[in-house]
Structure 1
Amino acid sequence: MAKGYYGRRKNVWTVAKNAVEKALGYAYVGRKHKKRNFRSLWIQRINAGTRQHGISYSVFMGKVNASGIELNRKVLADLAMNHPDAFKAIVEKVSK
């Protein structure tokens, strides 16, 4: 598992073992951070899209949940970025 490491980290057993264990720990935490970072990105994109239509993110998400629209943040962010007409229709539907 230490293949590709530099210096003693690749061929001295104790050093390589410690490096691999540390790397596995970082990989585990990194998978959690990835989820956190993407959720933050989706929120920023939805907020930017809703601000163009004169509504804040928190008000929009509250109305989306109250209206029963079951679209998650990932889908809403994709609509806001790539399909602004569809996103505008959603904003208009929940603004009523």
Structure 2
Amino acid sequence: MPRVRRGAARRQAKKRILKSVSGHRGPAGRQIRLAKEAATRAEVNAKTDRRRRKREFRGLWVVRLNAACRARGVRYSEFVHGCKKANIELNRKMLSEIAIADPEGFDKIAEAVKAALA
């Protein structure tokens, strides 16, 4: 079987890896062996952080809603339960946006929730 020379393909593969880690500090941005490891770790972390971002945003919306609800005399857990009873089908993201951008509208929602809980 003849020997295979991978000149162009090998060079392109190395260039692709080094381009993906440009900006990394130290040898991880220059040496191919360490660059491969850095690129692999970066891809893994990027995937997990895409999942984590969703969790962090939901936590932020809950904190904002809790503050807005307590200012109106309702706890967050009671507010969510009251929303279900009052058939208010807005998600936490939308409710927190309403609480920030339209306080009067959120007051009306809070009153509807209090009426549903009573």
Q: What are the Cα deviations for residues 56-90 of structure 1, in whole angstroms up to 9, with x where unaligned?
A: 00001001012211100000001111211000000
Tell me what 2:97 maps to: 78
* TM-score (norm: length of structure 2): 0.77
Structure 1 CA distance for aligned equivalents of residues 25 and 74 of structure 2: 52
Query: Equivalent of 1:19, from 32, 38, 42?
Result: 38
Q: How does 1:47-66 map to 2 (within 5 A)?
A: 47-66=66-85
Tell me what 2:22 maps to: 3
Tell me what 1:95 maps to: 114
Radius of gyration: which is bigger?
2
Task: Say what the alpha-carbon RMSD is for the aligned residues.
Answer: 1.0
3-state SS, counterpart of residue 3 of structure 1: coil
Q: How does 1:20-39 map to 2 (within 5 A)?
A: 20-39=39-58
Which residue type is aligned with residue 107 of structure 2? K
Structure 2 CA distance for aligned equivalents of residues 92 and 63 of structure 1: 10
3-state SS, counterpart of residue 67 of structure 2: helix
Q: What are the Cα deviations for residues 6-35 of structure 1, in whole angstroms up to 9, with x where unaligned?
A: 222122211000001111111111111111
